[in-house]
Chain A
Amino acid sequence: MNLSLNRIKSQNQMTNIYIGSALLILSILDVFLNSFFRINISGSLPGNLSIFFPLILGFLGLSYLRTEYSGYKFLDSLNKNINTTNFNAFLTLFITFAILKAFPPALSWMVLDANISGDTKEACTGTGACWTYIKVWFKRFMYGMYPNELHWRINSAFLLVIGLGFVGYFFKENLKKYLALYYVVIYPIIAFLIIYYLISGGAFGLVWVETGAWGGLSLTFIVSFFCLIFCFPLGMILALGRRSNLPAIRYISVGYIEFWRGVPLITVLFMSSVMFPMFLPQDFFMDKLVRVIIAITLFEAAYCAEVIRGGLQALPRGQYDAAKSLGMGYWKMHIFVILPQALKLVIPGIANTFLALVKDTPLIFVVGLAEIAGMLALAKTNPKWLGFAMEGYIFAAIIFWIICYAMSKYSYNLEEKYKTER
């Protein structure tokens, strides 16, 4: 293939470059005009040739352009990156054309033909997306059935909790040793109290709002936040238990971890909603949301434990021996020597577990808690707003994508920051 194409090339490099760029530009222009302006310059060609015309043209153009070294920076980097072999050139063209073809319809659906004005379904007259739907339902998607005039309570609770999360940065040098204590014990308690009293109310003159009314993205945040802070310590204890040399503790930890890792989250949620009440004393009432948070925490703790165990195993034996030779006991050794190093190693794994947790929260929809997927299902079946499922799911997907992508990038930064020379 290469040989036969080389034969049509001129001996003069400049001629090759001129012919190649002309052919390549022509082929891209053809696709571009075709998809953006619906002008088909190759329309006069017979039958299927018209479809393959840009592909063939571009392919010839790229094979003309392919040289060892031309002296032009742009051309050389082009050759090196996307035009090394015929196969590569073909894939390059294919991807470029696919993007060019798909871009205009997507753009016109999302932006050009879309509507965002008005307050009713009738305002959506275009053929594109109906963002009016999102606009009208936005508060519901964010806050669920929480009363409109009380949304400030959710907002301020979140701001307070986030603010308290940053307090650790401002600890003075002599307080730094209490940092872990703050984050593991004090912070969760304060956060719980803030969310409990501010969002559900019932005290300090705030109206009581039952958890059934909570919903939307804020519920996603609440559930993932609590599961995050509770599953990490539990996972750490389980990981230590699995590595313990006391057989009873080891077997119990192994059993716990393998059990929770072996069942799907959805059955765990079913268990929390239909089976768990049977296991509690008769008059004891536990809120559905609390049960769900407990269930997800127990479930994710098993995954967390396995990740942390990986870090513990990766530490060289010398670290344990050195700590022991200094006369440290089990807890002292783990808190001051082993865990700080092991946790540093497993940052990416922990971040992945947390990401999975955030992505799992929409599942609470199956037990009747209306977080964002639940609100979407509700909005979709509203008789006034039928037929906008696509917009709703794209909106939710974008929100989750941004959250998860930001988290994964943050974990990458964290990993870089705590990387120690080995």
Chain B
Amino acid sequence: MNNKIKRILPQLLTILFVVFVFGFFTINAQVNMDNRGIDFGFGFLSQEASFDMQFTLLDYDGQDSYLWAYVVALLNTLLVSFLGIIFCTILGVVIGVARLSQNFLIKNSAAWYVEFFRNIPLLLQIFFWYYAALRALPLPENAQPWFGVTYMTIKGYYIPSMIWENLNVFMSCLIAAIVAIIFIRVYARKIQEKEGKQLPVLYISLALITILPLLSFLIGGVTLDFEMPVLKQLAQTSFIFEGGIALPPELIALVLALSLYTSTFVAECVRAGIQGISKGQKEAAASVGLTPNQILKLVIMPQALRIIIPPTTNQYLNLTKNSSLAAAIAYPDLVLVFAGTALMQTGKAIEIVGITMLTYLSISLAIAALMNWYNKRIEIKEK
């Protein structure tokens, strides 16, 4: 009896406390909203947003609804996160491997890179790139081309845009190639398990992924043109680039800062992963006659990845959440557009902040669930 009370009482108290806090907040919110004449509801989502966004991936103008503004802003957030994740992975892997180099200079440069970029607040780094470094770039009329056709100016980075014809044919060829590669990999594994033979999967995959899309150009009627950015004079001293794609400086500053900052953490994950494999593994693999390539592919990497991937995904998640700092330099991401402008216009604080938080929360939880599934799959099954 005594034990039962001991188990139930604390739980009851905790639940009561939580209910009390939530109840207190809800009642206050209701009273406050009644007093100010605001009603709770999501009807505003279909109203006209009537504000503009500087940079969008999809078509958007002020006549569209708040809901559409939300979608467009969310896509902007995802774009920054996606670019950041790609660059921080590349940089992080290079730096992480460099930290394990035998070369004294390389090892120390990599270590200082990590110490330098991870000890400065991300917000300051974003500000530095946006307000200081990118403002030092030339005006459009003075810009020298990079790689011949792209222009880095104070107003952004101008790159040629691609004009596709029959893009869907090309895309279906690409997808067909990827599906074929997956099938071949499964088949190759089966063959290896059955007969011990190894198919040259890598070469076959490379061939498939280049030849099929190429064929679509030759047979499928796909054409690709480039539209170059061209300097155009608006007034006596005002120049602008037209055509092509303009990446705004906000996007560049954000991606730069996010990927430099996060790459230091990814580098540490990679280093820990590789160091976590004992030397004995390598020697044992060599003693059963595997070649250095096979050792790396079949023994070292699968084990190292098991250590590297979970913390690295965590870093990707952090990067996605940190991309909300975009609001500080006016890049139209979810927080700036939705929790900033839309909130100001509608005054629906609870709904809008709630939606914003829920969006991030669902991204995080989805990735976390994926991670748990992956961890379960690769877990070493001990007998």
A, B co-complexed: yes
Chain A residues with a Cβ under 8 A of chain B: 81-82, 84, 88, 91-92, 95-96, 246-249, 252, 258-259, 261-268, 270-271, 274-275, 277-282, 355, 358-363, 365-366, 373, 376-377, 380, 389-390, 393-394, 396-397, 400-401, 404-405, 408
Do residues B106 and A92 form an inter-chain contact, with CB atoms below 8 A?
yes
Complex: A263 Cα to B359 Cα, angstroms: 8
Hey, which chain A residues are within 8 Å of B128, CB to CB?
Answer: 390, 393-394, 397
Q: A262-B361, A266-B327, A373-B127 are in contact. Are A405 and B115 (CB under 8 A)?
A: yes
Q: What residue of chain B has the Cβ atom nearest to residue A280's Cβ?
A: B28
Do residues B25 and A279 form an inter-chain contact, with CB atoms below 8 A?
yes
A-B CB pair tally, cutoff 8 Å: 160
Do residues A401 and B119 form an inter-chain contact, with CB atoms below 8 A?
yes
Hey, which chain A residues are within 8 Å of B131, CB to CB?
Answer: 380, 389, 393
Can you list, as one digit per residue, whether each of B1-44 has a CB less than 8 Å from chain A (1) or not (0)?
00000010011101100100000110011011101000000000
Do residues B364 and A81 form an inter-chain contact, with CB atoms below 8 A?
no
Hey, which chain A residues are within 8 Å of B321, CB to CB?
Answer: 263-265
Do residues A373 and B361 form an inter-chain contact, with CB atoms below 8 A?
no
Do residues A278 and B350 form an inter-chain contact, with CB atoms below 8 A?
yes
Hey, which chain B residues are within 8 Å of A252, CB to CB?
Answer: 14-15, 18
Which one of B18, B32, B324, B354 lies within 8 Å of A282 (CB-CB)? B32
Say which one of B45-53, B97-105, B185-193, B229-237 lies at the interface with A.
B97-105
Chain B residues with a Cβ under 8 A of chain A: 7, 10-12, 14-15, 18, 24-25, 28-29, 31-33, 35, 101-106, 109, 115-116, 118-125, 127-128, 131-133, 135-136, 321-322, 324-325, 327-328, 335, 339, 343, 349-350, 353-354, 356-357, 360-361, 363-365, 368
10 closest A-B pairs (Cβ-Cβ)?
A262-B364, A248-B11, A404-B119, A264-B321, A81-B104, A262-B361, A390-B132, A279-B25, A264-B324, A359-B121
New A-B contacts (13) at CB < 8 Å, excluding given A270-B356, A278-B29, A377-B127: A81-B103, A82-B105, A246-B7, A252-B15, A263-B321, A267-B335, A270-B353, A279-B28, A355-B119, A376-B127, A396-B124, A397-B124, A397-B125
Hey, which chain B residues are within 8 Å of A408, CB to CB?
Answer: 119
Hey, which chain A residues are within 8 Å of B101, CB to CB?
Answer: 88
Hey, which chain B residues are within 8 Å of A263, CB to CB?
Answer: 321, 357, 360-361, 364
Per DSSP, chain A at the interface is helix
A238 nearest CB across to chain B (Å): 12
Q: A95-B105, A393-B128, A393-B131 are in contact. Are A270 and B339 (CB under 8 A)?
A: yes
Hey, which chain A residues are within 8 Å of B7, CB to CB?
Answer: 246
Do residues A274 and B127 form an inter-chain contact, with CB atoms below 8 A?
no
Of the A-B pairs whose beta carbons lie under 8 Å apart in the complex, a sample of 25, sorted by A's number, is: A84-B103, A91-B106, A95-B109, A248-B14, A249-B14, A258-B365, A262-B361, A262-B364, A262-B365, A263-B364, A267-B335, A267-B353, A278-B350, A279-B28, A359-B122, A362-B123, A363-B123, A365-B123, A365-B328, A389-B127, A393-B127, A393-B131, A394-B128, A397-B124, A408-B119
Do residues A275 and B124 form an inter-chain contact, with CB atoms below 8 A?
no
Hey, which chain A residues are within 8 Å of B102, CB to CB?
Answer: 81, 84, 88
Complex: A396 Cα to B121 Cα, angstroms: 10
Hey, which chain A residues are within 8 Å of B14, CB to CB?
Answer: 248-249, 252
B360 nearest CB across to chain A (Å): 5
Complex: A271 Cα to B360 Cα, angstroms: 14
Do residues B10 and A267 form an inter-chain contact, with CB atoms below 8 A?
no
Q: A81-B103, A262-B361, A404-B120 are in contact. Are A275 and B353 (CB under 8 A)?
A: yes
Q: A82-B103, A95-B105 are in contact. Are A393 and B324 (CB under 8 A)?
A: no
Q: What residue of chain A has the Cβ atom nearest to residue B119's Cβ?
A: A404
Which one of B29, B120, B123 lies within 8 Å of A279 (CB-CB)? B29
Do residues A259 and B350 form an inter-chain contact, with CB atoms below 8 A?
no
Q: A82-B103, A274-B343, A275-B349 are in contact. Are A264 and B132 (CB under 8 A)?
A: no
Complex: A173 Cα to B349 Cα, angstroms: 54
Hey, which chain B residues are within 8 Å of A247, CB to CB?
Answer: 11
Q: What residue of chain B has the Cβ atom nearest to residue A268's Cβ?
A: B357
B4 nearest CB across to chain A (Å): 12
Q: A246-B11, A393-B131 are in contact. Are A274 and B123 (CB under 8 A)?
A: no
